[in-house]
Amino acid sequence: MFKKITAIFVILSFAMGAMAQKYDGVIDKTVAVVGNSVILLSEVEAEAQMMQFNGYISNRNLRCEVLENMMISKLFYTQAVLDSLTVNPDNVNAALADRMANILSKLGGEAAVEEYFGKSISKLEQQWRNIFLEQSLVQDMQRQVANAIPEMTPRQVKEFYENSPKENLPIIPVQYKYSQIVMYPDVRKAEMEAREKLLDFRQRILDGERFNLLATLYSDCPSAMRGGELGMASKSLYWPAFSDAAMALKEGQVSPIVETPDGYHLIQLIKREGDMFNARHILLKPKYSEEDRDSVFAELAQLKLQLQADTITFEQAARLHSQDAQSKTNGGVVADVNTGAPLFEIDQLKPADYAMLKNLEPGEISEPFESTDNEGRSGNVVYKIVRLEEVVPSHPASYESDFNVLLDIAKNQQMMEAIEKFISEKQKVTYIVIDPLFGNCDFEREGWVK
């Protein structure tokens, strides 16, 4: 049965493509009505095409899956309209810009996008804008349903834990708690050296040397193997300072030095097309000499000696000497910037930090070593010593030690149950009609066919 339905939809897909091409989208077919909202066959086809573009593979009939998801969205959309929810246009514009930038970059320009989707850029933008407008209301409605759930009490979390089959509880990986004293190298000196090198490169290029050769030899970007060439992409994919500088150039022109969180750049524009461009660049990141490194290492080593001699506590030393603003206020204890939790799983640790921590015993202090901070894409170089505070072995989640983990799981379960209850209740009281074309769909939820 499914092979037959799939074949029908393949034919319909081509038919709709031809129909849209011939009639410019005027003729269409309503395949479902949910409340006061209709779902068109062209909308199902467009969403299926977008999912395939993004590499989605369905283990069911894709168009049946798309239609069911659209009908669910219409249930939330209908309630959102009744509740007079409003859309934040900035969120819609941002979502539209992200989608357009992603598709333009993948397909290589506006002409390729129009050919792939069979529509002009302006029509695609209008179609996607309408989708994001509705999605914004749907998501707000879903949040309202989820947020209507009362806050869980510790007693409820404990009941959830006690009533959950132990094999269903998550296994908490090994976790590390540690403190650090961080020092930065002489950043200003390294930045000046990077700038001086780029000024020299720029003059050499203006004197006739090939930009791509210098990029291959000296750039710190992976694009160096391609002579610094980045490929045609949307300007929104780059740091604003980088894209603004590139878009201001004429083809073949070389920019002044451009600073971004990645480092310092020279940019040569290859081609510009609308909001997209292709450029070469040479990236230099500030580099530090052995002398700089040895000087900071010596200071950290001296601090370690004082700590081992108990002339100062680690907490005092961190507050006095550490240059990491967040951990120094905690006496050196490192905490997750999002949750404030002081325990880190291995994959949450920086590789250099884990390489030191795994060989320490609780209370032991490391030798000075090089690591990175959380700035930019890959972080800036820092030097540090760390003290291992605690290692929590891997274990099944327990109420005593993993309350927050269990709370999140219980809350998510309640939210999912609330969402499912909303869908089920709205199916019963909402006018729903599905075209016979989709009559043989094996929907995940019952209740669509009255």
Q: What is the pLDDT along the chain (450 residues), one digit of tens a residue?
A: 333 333 333 333 333 333 333 334 436 789 999 999 999 999 999 899 889 888 888 888 999 999 999 999 999 999 999 999 998 888 898 899 888 888 888 888 888 889 988 889 999 999 899 999 999 999 999 999 998 999 999 999 999 999 999 888 999 999 999 999 999 988 888 899 999 999 999 999 999 999 999 999 999 999 999 999 999 888 888 999 999 999 999 999 999 999 998 899 999 999 998 888 999 999 999 888 888 899 999 999 999 999 999 999 999 999 999 999 999 999 999 998 887 889 999 999 999 999 999 999 999 999 999 999 887 667 788 999 999 999 999 999 999 888 989 999 999 999 999 999 999 999 999 999 999 999 899 999 988 986
pTM of the shown model: 0.65
| 274 and 344 inside one domain | no
Q: Which of 393, 415, 443 is the last residue of a domain?
A: 393
Nearest to 201 by CA among 224, 185, 222: 224
Helices within 83-239 (DSSP H only): 89-107, 110-117, 121-147, 154-163, 187-206, 211-218
| 314 and 179 inside one domain | yes
Q: What is the DSSP letter of 330?
A: T
| 389 and 293 inside one domain | yes
Domain contains 209? yes
| 180 and 207 inside one domain | no
Q: Which of 346, 374, 393 is the last residue of a domain?
A: 393
Question: Does residue 344 contact residue 336 with C-beta atoms inside 8 Å?
Answer: yes
- Which H or E element spans position 34? strand 30-34
Q: Which of 371, 393, 415 is the last residue of a domain?
A: 393
**Could you tell me the CATH number of the domain that includes residue 355?**
3.10.50.40
Domain contains 429? no
Structural domains in the chain (count): 2
| 224 and 311 inside one domain | no
Which domain does 360 fall in, by range? 174-186+289-393
| 294 and 251 inside one domain | no
| 373 and 295 inside one domain | yes
Domain contains 57? no
Domain contains 234? yes
| 323 and 178 inside one domain | yes
